[in-house]
Structure 1
């Protein structure tokens, strides 16, 4: 009888050991799964997101931030898709919209980034964790760091921000030394049949020129565009808003007939050749890819480098 009991006990021990092994393996897998997500403190509260997202859909102007941080993008909004600055990076990326839920679902995203005003937010959240940002709630550099935190790239984002600030400020010092501390710069744009002038922190390079490089804005521009960020102009009043230098953003299909008028040609900045032309398409973004492009444009335009 004892001989029969011993093998039975051994069998129980083996079964128990296997069970413990499986339990340990299951616990290990559960811990690993938990490690694959992080809790991001978004504007709307904590959201569980992938620690290292692999398939991101972007329904906002933050495409360049994600591209710059080296995270894979599978779908973007029409403005990003049509942005020539991102042409190479987005050539194989799908164009989607907040109303194209089926198209987004087919892309199998593991993270969606959108604006706080996005349509169908609840339905998007059913497809993948969806994080929204309010445009302009924080400055453009802080925004990049926030997106870095979301994507598990906070360190990389912070390093770029610190380096960019230093380089932009250095170039600003060189520019002011060349053109004078009191010289003014206007940022204007031709879009369709309309003309605009921009205040600080409204893309088109305004963040770099006025914040980082510390160049001065004409008083007339400050009076009309600082609060709202922009002001619509007529061709007749262009001279009143023109600084000693003009950064002129032009869309390819814009009406540029104003440049052929005597009113425009007689503006001192125009007569002196102090106009820096900027491509309108893509100029409304404020991400690292765009900012690097604009900083190079300003360095060449002001310093001839």
Structure 2
């Protein structure tokens, strides 16, 4: 990706009532770097104005989407949203971290956070600000790598965030070059998901590896996907029209909790990618997000799937 989630991260971005809820919006320029304040504090220039936050936060709560970004920067979490909590990739780090929501203010108070982070769609922001400095982000307002840089600025770890971004882009783009050399420049790839009895296809910024496949690797998106999903980020479709959106390769973000019986239909079985054994299935719960931990995992999966290494 919700409590009613439509796919980003559905949401993971649906990611996202973990995540809250989301509609992509126009990209904006990143905020300025944080500035020094009184001892132990920095001033972070958030999208809603300057916020004084700890220079070295020790007890962070993430109410949607950004838990992986915080973990990647080695900052301690004391509470996270339900979507992050059910991500198998995060199990070892979040094992003893509490699951919280924007509506459980008593539990948040008990956790004594020194910083709260979430999407702009979270509830009770004014009340949360009374508990601890609270910073929210509008999903899609900046691109996914700039978003990580912003989290780095917020946590006073901009250098670390920038170093990871530079390294990741180099690795992902090299993998794209290698993959295109193997499968062909014009070979198409689509990303689908079956969520809550509804099929979705994704554009280039809705988690599930789409940022890597399309933005970094520059693999080709099927024309129908480009037409219907690129601008919005995702598109809901029926099984009957799925073949029109299917690429030469398909990444299928799949959940065991969902009815996937459509895979037994003739419509699905007759898709060229299916017949040619070019469908790569992934665990949706591991693939929702686009934080560094998830992105590194996605990248290795794509290298193994397309290149066998």
Out of 70, 81, 87, the residue aligned to residue 83 of structure 1 is 87
Give TM-score scaled by structure 1 length.
0.88
How far does residue 283 in structure 1 lie from its aligned partner after superposition?
A: 2.0
Residue correspondence of structure 1 range 74-113 to structure 2 within 5 A: 74-113=78-117
Deviation track 1:115-141 (CA, whole Å, cap 9, x = no partner) reads: 112211111111111111111100110
How far does residue 174 in structure 1 lie from its aligned partner after superposition?
A: 0.2
Q: What CA distance in whole angstroms lies between the structure 2 residues aligned with 1:297 and 1:79? A: 21
Deviation track 1:224-256 (CA, whole Å, cap 9, x = no partner) reads: 111211111211222111111000001111111
Bigger RCO (CA 8 Å, 6+ sep) = 2
Give TM-score scaled by structure 2 length.
0.87
Determine the structure 2 residue equivalent to 1:174: 178
How far does residue 274 in structure 1 lie from its aligned partner after superposition?
A: 0.7
How far does residue 78 in structure 1 lie from its aligned partner after superposition?
A: 1.1
Q: What CA distance in whole angstroms lies between the structure 2 residues aligned with 1:77 and 1:186? A: 29
Determine the structure 2 residue equivalent to 1:19: none
Out of 37, 40, 44, the residue aligned to residue 40 of structure 1 is 44
In the alignment, is the contact (CA less than 8 A) between 1:75 and 1:96 conserved in 2?
A: yes
Determine the structure 2 residue equivalent to 1:127: 131
Structure 2's unaligned 5+ residue stretches are 1-36
Q: Does 1:234 align with 2:238?
A: yes
Q: Secondary structure at the match of 1:278?
A: strand
How far does residue 143 in structure 1 lie from its aligned partner after superposition?
A: 0.4
In the alignment, is the contact (CA less than 8 A) between 1:191 and 1:253 conserved in 2?
A: no
Determine the structure 2 residue equivalent to 1:54: 58
In the alignment, is the contact (CA less than 8 A) between 1:235 and 1:258 conserved in 2?
A: yes
Deviation track 1:44-63 (CA, whole Å, cap 9, x = no partner) reads: 11111000000001111000
Q: What CA distance in whole angstroms lies between the structure 2 residues aligned with 1:224 and 1:206? A: 15
Out of 181, 198, 204, the residue aligned to residue 208 of structure 2 is 204
In the alignment, is the contact (CA less than 8 A) between 1:175 and 1:302 conserved in 2?
A: yes
Q: What CA distance in whole angstroms lies between the structure 2 residues aligned with 1:97 and 1:263? A: 40
Determine the structure 2 residue equivalent to 1:152: 156
Q: Which has the larger radius of gyration?
A: 1
Q: Does 1:220 align with 2:224?
A: yes
Number of equivalenced pairs: 274
Q: What CA distance in whole angstroms lies between the structure 2 residues aligned with 1:184 and 1:290? A: 23
Q: Secondary structure at the match of 1:88?
A: helix
Determine the structure 2 residue equivalent to 1:162: 166
Q: Which aligned runs of 4 or more in structure 1 are off by greater than 6 angstroms?
A: none
